[in-house]
Amino acid sequence: MCFFQLMWLSISMVEIFASSLGSESQSLLSCSKFHFEEKVLEKVVRLENKMEVYEEKIKLWEASVSSKLEHKMEVYAEKITLWDASISSSLNKVTETKKQTEIFFDSMRDAHLKDQTRFNISFHEAKKQTETFFDLIREEHLLDQTRFNDSFLEAVDRFKLQSENETEFYERRMNSLLDSFSSKVQELKEAERNRESTMKLYLRQEQNRFNESFDKIVRKFQVRFNKSLRKVALTQQKVALTACATSKTVSGETVVQFPNIKTNIGITDLSAYQSTGKFVCTVAGLYHVSAVMMSSTNGQYYYIYKNNAVMIWTYYGKVVNYFQTRTSVFVTMLDVGDEITVRTAGSQYIYSDSCFTIVRLN
Nearest to 330 by CA among 306, 295, 350: 306
Using 50, 70 and 90 to split pLDDT, how confident is the model at 28?
Answer: very low
Using 50, 70 and 90 to split pLDDT, how confident is the model at 291?
Answer: very high
Taking the C-alpha atoms of residue 351 and residue 247, their distance in angstroms, rounded to an integer, is 4
Taking the C-alpha atoms of residue 55 and residue 67, their distance in angstroms, rounded to an integer, is 18
Average pLDDT score over the chain? 80
Report which of residues 78 and 228 the model is more confident about: 78
Using 50, 70 and 90 to split pLDDT, how confident is the model at 25?
Answer: very low
Sequence-ordered list of residues with C-beta below 8 angstroms from that of 336, at least 6 positions apart, any chain: 281, 282, 283, 284
- pLDDT for 343 equals 96
pLDDT above 70 as % of the chain: 88
Q: Find the range with the poorest average confidence among 316-320, 334-338, 350-354.
A: 316-320
SS3 350: strand
Residue 37 has pLDDT above 90, yes or no: no
List, in sequence order, every beta strand (DSSP E) within the chain: 240-244, 248-250, 260-265, 279-280, 285-295, 301-306, 309-315, 324-334, 339-344, 348-350, 355-360
Residue 145 has pLDDT above 90, yes or no: no
- pLDDT for 2 equals 47
Report which of residues 9 and 281 the model is more confident about: 281
- pLDDT for 241 equals 95
- pLDDT for 312 equals 95
Residue 24 has pLDDT above 70, yes or no: no
- pLDDT for 287 equals 96
Report which of residues 259 and 167 the model is more confident about: 259
**What does DSSP assign to residue 317?**
-
How would DSSP label each residue in 216-254? HHHHHHHHHHHHHHHHHHHHH---EEEEE--SEEE-TT-
- pLDDT for 63 equals 80
Q: Mean per-residue pLDDT for 85-97?
A: 77
Residue 17 has pLDDT above 90, yes or no: no
pLDDT winner (highest mean) among 20-29, 97-106, 119-128, 336-345: 336-345
Using 50, 70 and 90 to split pLDDT, how confident is the model at 306?
Answer: very high
Residue 27 has pLDDT above 70, yes or no: no
Domain ranges of the chain: 147-236, 238-360
The burial of 145, by beta-carbon neighbours within 10 Å (0-12 exposed, 13-18 middle, 19 or more buried), is given as: exposed
Q: What is the pLDDT of residues 187-225, one digit of tens each?
A: 777 777 777 777 778 778 888 888 888 788 878 877 887
Q: Mean per-residue pLDDT for 5-23?
A: 53
Nearest to 355 by CA among 115, 113, 123, 128: 123
CATH 1.10.357.10 is held by the domain 238-360: no
pTM, to two decimals: 0.40
